[in-house]
A and B are shown apart, each in its own frame.
Chain A
Amino acid sequence: MRSVALAAPDDFEGWRDAARALAAARVPPGDIVWQVGEAPADLFGDEGVLTGGGEQLRVPRRFVELAREVILHGDPERFALLYTLLTRALANGHVIEDGADPLVRRLETMAKAVRRDIHKMRAFLRFREVPHQPAPPPRHPSAGYSEMGGGVGERAGAADSTYVAWFEPEHHIVRANARFFVDRFNSMRWSILTPEVSLHWDGATLSEGPGATKEDAPQDDPTEAVWKTYYASIFNPARLKTGAMLKEMPRKYWKNMPETALVGELIKGARAREVAMVEQARTAPPRATGSNSQSAWAALREEAAHCTRCHLYEHATQTVFGEGPVDAALMLVGEQPGDQEDLAGRPFIGPAGQVLDRALAEAGIDRGKAYLTNAVKHFKFEQRGKRRIHAKPDAGEISACRWWIEQERLIVRPQVTIALGATAARSLLGRTVTISRERGSPIDLPDGGGEAWITVHPSFLLRIPEEARKAQEYEAFVADLKAAAARLRAFNPAS
């Protein structure tokens, strides 16, 4: 057994010199005990360390880079693991390139943890400003720093201040990270206190001190309140993603970061704030209606004219957008424009439209006061000779076109919406609807979208061959319309 005592937990040079000598002497990994500090903690470490070693050992540079990082890891096994890999790399230099080798993989994972810790120290370390005292920061400050710190607006520069940070790294990275802070805060006077070692920079030289405790660091800085204000304000409550936050900023770092005190409260309030915003927009006095909803609707219609959300635009003549008053209390939604609508660019003017007009009149509904539109805004058809035969839009097309009807509904905000046929019902409710089961009673639409009534599409009536059944279905259709109209009158007793 040989024992090697390294000067410090991050003593790469010490490890390298010892490893070089041991490897030259062909000492197997199992015969070495690696220790940090002078104390001979191992009873078997009686053979002493080899010094020097004339033989020139050549190892791949990649190994040296890996070793420099792994040495900083907190795992006490790191020295032995690296030595094992060193002996293997001397026999076969390529082993270091084999990331699938279990030992290489383990050491690379350790190196990655070290790099992450280095990065997180750069990210999450927080300085607190204290008035400069000529002596190096005392181990036990006599007075509370919180009373000495000035406000943001009170001190012009940093010349008379010292910045002190308390940080608890996971690995032995502090010395390796010193250069970063020197490069960044070169003209400042600062100290970084950690449990293992302290760093002090006076603007010209870096010095090292013993480890410290949290109590040695200042307990407050008035600028932290300003920073917390920023943290709370930059957070968008409409997009809560706590998992993503925790992945990059694990709880172990929280205790030394002032802003994390706000996290719980911000999460709790977030959903409520979003709901309130949406609610406020919905219930706001209709500044929209009248003032800009007409122009919003016109712009929307213009945008829809160029829609390519699904492929139906390729063969149709034009987008057939909805029409009617933008503040209508009643909205009628059909399936899609037919042959005549496609040519004219207006909804419900063909044969089905005429059936609808007659039924609306019988139900006491003024078509001119309703907003009429379709679930799908382009005509879908199959060409048979010279005729264009209606083809049913599929779920993909309905869903692609849903965007438009949602926008129309947000502008019009009808109290009652009548879905004519299964396509319209699917577009409104986002699910497959069996008309016979759901017609005749109101269905509440989510998010205050009013209520929906489901009935058949007038073109269905046109396709029924037997006159008796046709009349019967027509009556049922008118009855549905009447029920919806009654509902509308109940909402608006005055009109």
Chain B
Amino acid sequence: MAQLDLREKLEILADAAKYDASCASSGTAKRKSAGGKGIGSTEGMGICHAYAPDGRCISLLKILLTNSCIFDCHYCINRKSSNVRRARFTAQEVVKLTLDFYRRNYIEGLFLSSGIIRSSNYTMEQIVEVARSLREDHDFRGYIHLKTIPDADPELLRQAGLHADRLSINVELPTVAGLARLAPEKSAPRIEGAMRGLRQEIEDKSDAAKRYRSAPKFAPAGQSTQMIVGADAATDRDIVQRASGLYGRFNLRRVYYSAFSPIPDASAVLPLQRPPLMREHRLYQSDWLMRFYDYGPDEVADAADPATGMMPLDIDPKLSWALKHRHRFPVDVNRAPREMLLRVPGLGVKAVDKIILARRWRRLSLADVGRLTVSVAKLRPFLIADDWRPVTLSDRADLRPIVAPKKEQLELFAA
């Protein structure tokens, strides 16, 4: 009977957690279980142990401690006024579930979040207790990600950081006006204040760790955040600018974008229809351009339509930028600096590094480049190789249809 109860709770509390996009288990310190009495290890790279039909990676046991909440945020399925079934795990139930799953190699660890019950501090204490028990009672060395509550006592956030690999606080919505409308009890300054506090703590502890080996580790995988796309009036350009500001000010590891999706028992304030999932995908691509391809936020925003501020859905932002800056192309694959090769649509970071290594010894032809990338068709108009020179780009008004992907169904059951 006890098991049935547990499964029912799991059903409710996993369902309640699924709107959080983050499931990463990467970027933390390396650990092994050898020499300890428990289990668990972490590598630099996370592992996705399964994929759900929504295409999302299942890496961590992602659940809520409880889906009861004293807040009434309109976008949230767990808001006070929602009719959803409520459940609550005990700390020990979560600990046991995590270990049972981990032993069978289902997961990399735990991602624990919670609705707010009684008070922010009380809720945070419960979350910290789960992490403490896993680490101290069971010597668990797998990955732990804790969602922290911005209004909780800084001492509780500090304890959370001592046990967790990653901490996160969601900014929830890209605009302050959107937050005020959809999450009236949350405050943008308090959220950002808590993120600033975490940054400080993470950097202090990491400085100390460099000087003293025994210094305690604090959230070695850093902090991340999430914003919901499509529930407020923010354009892609607004979102890119906001994300860039967050990366800079709080030294975030990741900003997650979650396309707003219809929830059961929705509030009337919400749009009924989701934005196209492709929009979320384009935002992640923009994010990558900033983090790995050296694009400034203004340059990424430049890929958006000047009138609507939205990224094109039919082509990726890198191609969109290139089409708007044709005078920067073609790029000579045998001579161009790394920064410029990274701007070529269809050339990824790995391919660029291989080109740079290979061209030290000989000049590369178009066929050579073809062997370093997935498809050379998209690249051709933008590249000069030893045996290849494209017709001048500005001469071709019809370039976009040539390089844009063939029109296909962008997503299953597109809205």
Contact = CB atoms under 8 A, between A and B. Distances in A.
Interface of A: 94, 97-102, 105, 119, 122-129, 151-153, 158, 163, 165, 180, 182-188, 221-227, 229-245, 248-249, 257, 259-260, 263, 266-267, 270-271, 274, 277-278, 280-282, 284, 287-289, 292-293, 296, 299-300, 302-304, 306-311, 394-397, 399-400, 403-404, 406-407, 410-411, 447
Interface in B276-325: 277, 305-310
Contacts of A397: 307
B206 interface: no
B104 interface: yes
Contacts of A186: 32-36, 39
25 contacts: A98-B362, A100-B364, A100-B369, A122-B47, A123-B49, A127-B104, A152-B96, A153-B3, A183-B33, A187-B39, A225-B7, A231-B52, A236-B18, A236-B54, A242-B53, A242-B412, A244-B55, A245-B55, A267-B53, A282-B272, A302-B177, A306-B177, A400-B310, A410-B271, A447-B272
B267 A309 contact: no
Given A97-B361, A259-B50, A300-B269, 9 more contacts: A97-B360, A119-B47, A233-B10, A239-B277, A241-B56, A243-B55, A249-B51, A309-B309, A310-B308
Contacts of B263: 277
Nearest to B104: A127
Contacts of A394: 307
B48 A123 contact: yes
A280 B100 contact: no
A303 B105 contact: no
B262 A281 contact: yes
Contact of B53 (A153, A240, A296, A410): A240
Contacts of A308: 238
A387 B6 CA distance: 71
Interface magnitude class on chain B: 35 or more
Interface string B96-107: 110011011110
Interface stretch (B57-65, B159-167, B243-251): B57-65
Contact of B6 (A226, A239, A271, A404): A226
B348 interface: no
Contact of A151 (B3, B57, B259): B3
Contacts of A101: 358
A152 B233 contact: no
Contact of A302 (B15, B181, B354, B361): B181
A245 B103 contact: no
Nearest to A264: B53
B50 A257 contact: yes
A69 B38 CA distance: 31
B273 A447 contact: yes
5 nearest A-B residue pairs (beta carbon): A396-B307, A244-B55, A288-B268, A241-B55, A100-B368
Contacts of A410: 268, 270-272
Q: Which of A105, A245, A311, A411 gathers the greatest number of chain B CB atoms within 10 Å?
A: A245
Interface of B: 2-3, 6-7, 10-12, 14-15, 17-19, 32-41, 47-58, 61-62, 74, 96-97, 100-101, 103-106, 175, 177-178, 180-182, 184, 232-233, 235, 238, 259, 261-274, 277, 305-310, 354-355, 357-358, 360-362, 364, 367-369, 371-372, 411-413
Contacts of B233: 303-304, 307, 309, 403-404
A240 to B, nearest CB: 5
A271 B413 CA distance: 8
Contacts of A244: 51, 55-56
Contact of B104 (A221, A241, A299, A311): A221
A236 B367 CA distance: 43
B14 A233 contact: yes
Contacts of B103: 127, 129, 158, 163, 185, 188
B274 A239 contact: yes
A126 B263 CA distance: 32
B277 to A, nearest CB: 6
A263 B53 CA distance: 7
Nearest to B40: A184
A233 B273 contact: no
A271 B412 CA distance: 10
Nearest to A237: B54
Contact of B354 (A100, A282, A404): A100
A296 B269 CA distance: 5
B7 A238 contact: no
Contacts of B106: 126, 227
B53 A97 contact: no
Contacts of A289: 268
Contacts of A306: 175, 177
Contacts of B10: 226, 229-230, 233
A281 B61 contact: no
Contact of B49 (A124, A153, A239): A124
B52 A187 contact: no
A302 B180 contact: yes
A278 B268 contact: no
A300 B181 contact: yes
Nearest to A301: B181
A248 B320 CA distance: 27
Contact of A184 (B32, B270, B271): B32
B329 to A, nearest CB: 21
A334 B268 CA distance: 24
Given A234-B14, A282-B272, A241 B41 contact: no
Contact of B267 (A124, A266, A288): A288
Contacts of A270: 53
